[in-house]
Amino acid sequence: MPSTPPSPDRPRIVDTAFWCWVSGAVLTAALGMLTLSQGGHPFIYLAGGLLFAAGLGQAYFAGRARKREGRFAAAGVGLAMASVVFLALLLLFGAGIAVIAIVAVTMALLIVGSLMIRRDEARQWYEAAR
């Protein structure tokens, strides 16, 4: 599988944030598919669909942010924080005990990625592209 070689001028913190976001996006989409497979009430289908779409969107924003597009980095932070709030609400309203650890790791990855992409070194790299 070919991987994108690290850019000589891209800060390492951007790559780290990218991988945190991609990992969080995969887990979010997987949680969405797991939720969709549970069936039952229409709210469950809605929650699963939203999680799956958020995971796909987060992965897309992460990829575009890695290509030095600052507006997608900002959109990725917004989507990550919205996903964290939604996951927290799902935990609050009765997620199963087995899912709590997965949701906690997913939330941590999304938060860490968002914090890293907003650091000064990353922000200066995006501003230099303008």
Q: Where are the domains of the chain?
A: 12-128
- The two three-digit tokens of residue 123, written as one number: 């922000």
- Closest to 88 (Cα-Cα) out of 115, 108, 117: 108
- pLDDT values of the chain reduced to their tens digit, one per residue, 130 residues: 556 655 668 899 999 999 999 999 999 999 999 988 987 889 889 999 999 999 999 999 999 999 999 999 999 999 999 999 999 998 888 767 778 889 999 999 999 999 999 999 999 999 987 7
Going 19 to 87 to 126 to 129, the CA torsion angle's sign is positive
- The gap from C-alpha 61 to its chain's centroid, in whole angstroms, comes to 9
